[in-house]
Amino acid sequence: MKRIFFIFAIIGFCMATTVYAAGIDTYAFPQKGQTADQQKQDEGFCTQWAQEQTGINPAVLQYQQQEAATSQQQAQQASTSRVGRPLLRTAATGAALGGINNNMDDGAGKGAVEGVALAASRARAQSLEQKSQGVVDAANAKAQNVQADSQKYVRAYGACMEGKGYSIR
């Protein structure tokens, strides 16, 4: 039973060290002549300690970083692809109104039709732009929160490693 527990402890330690190395970009230099094995142990300990102190799991943090970057890209693409649509719609409306104007003799009728069509088109374009900007803002806020969590975790990890005699960069 003790042997199985020991094996699982070693596997967990290796996974924690690997997860940390893959998710957070820091370098530790041993200042007190620590061996490579000792450094791995210290990194594993500090990974767990930083997680306990901050409540931030580096594996989840790595996933959140990727997700935030993807959300930002998608929001940016969506907002730029919608910019041309209202202009195209307004031009098509104007062309249609031009055709109508040739058949209408009443100036008030022309003005009313053009005014309503252009106002509706502008309102729709403004609404789309506001929605797009809201999506972009939300994606940026999410990315900023993930970045703040990352910095918090790295500070905790660095404090632990410095306490164990490493230089952290």
Q: What is the pLDDT of residue 149?
A: 92
Q: How far is CA 99 from CA 29, 38, 93, in A?
A: 76, 82, 10
Handedness of CA 78, 83, 86, 87 (dihedral sign): negative
Looking at residue 4, its pLDDT comes to: 53
pLDDT at 57: 92
Report the alpha-carbon distance of residue 141 to residue 13 in Å, rounded: 33
CA 38 to chain centre: 35
Tell if the pTM clears 0.75, that is, is over it.
no
pLDDT digits (tens, 9 = 90+) for 47-93: 999 999 999 998 888 888 888 888 888 877 776 655 455 555 555 55
Q: Look at residue 5 in the predicted model and tell me its pLDDT.
A: 44
Q: Domain residues of the chain, as ranges?
A: 1-169
Residue 32 in 3-state DSSP? coil
Contact assessment for residue 153 and residue 54, using Cβ atoms and an 8 Å cutoff: yes
Beta bridge partners of 168: 28
Q: Which range, of 34-38, 63-67, 151-155, averages the lowest pLDDT?
A: 63-67
